[in-house]
């Protein structure tokens, strides 16, 4: 093999290697974009899981005494006033419970659960009444 053939061989290898490097760069770019999308999806799923875990206790976890007492107070209020419809805030005032927005929102969730279980009905938006 003479020098000219050796240089031509190096040139061919250089071109092949340059082509392969370009292909790998394209793959890296594609994988980087896919990785960013996947990591964003993972973050969304983690947030959703955290929110759901905070809102709904696990099925095998017993309700705390505080939660059971709150449900019982709500049920008792509806039993004492079977024909009356209440808003969550009105129920808090009736039961002398805190009326801050967070507490009222927890009660709204409880009222929704009692409605889905068939104990309450919703005669109007945001209003709850004992099912007769």
Query: By CB neighbour count within 10 A (0-12 exposed, 13-18 middle, 19+ buried), where does 84 fall?
Result: middle
pLDDT tens digits along 53-66:
777 765 555 555 55
pLDDT tens digits along 65-111:
555 788 888 888 988 988 899 999 999 899 888 888 888 888 998 89
Tokens of 2: 């003479």
pLDDT tens digits along 8-42:
999 999 999 999 999 999 999 999 999 999 888 88
Taking only Cα atoms into account, the Rg of the chain, rounded to an integer number of angstroms, comes to 32
Three-state DSSP string of 70-131: HHHHHHHHHHHCCCCCECHHHHHHHCCCCCCHHHHHHHHHHHHHHHHCCCEEEEECCEEEEC
Per-residue confidence (pLDDT) for residue 127, from 0 to 100: 93
Question: Which residues are 86's β-sheet partners?
Answer: 128
CA distance 70 to 18: 71
């Amino acid at each position: 093999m003479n020098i000219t053939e050796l240089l031509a061989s190096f040139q061919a290898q250089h071109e092949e290697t340059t082509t392969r490097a370009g292909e790998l760069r394209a793959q890296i770019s594609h994988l980087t974009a896919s990785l960013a999308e996947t990591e964003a999806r993972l973050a969304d799923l983690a947030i959703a899981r955290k929110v759901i875990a905070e809102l709904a206790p696990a099925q095998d976890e017993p309700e705390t005494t505080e939660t059971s007492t709150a449900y019982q107070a709500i049920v008792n209020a509806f039993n004492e006033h079977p024909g009356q419809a209440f808003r969550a805030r009105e129920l808090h005032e009736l039961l002398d419970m805190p009326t801050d927005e967070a507490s009222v929102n927890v009660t709204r969730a409880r009222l929704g659960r009692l409605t889905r279980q068939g104990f309450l009905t919703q005669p109007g938006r945001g209003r709850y009444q004992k099912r007769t």
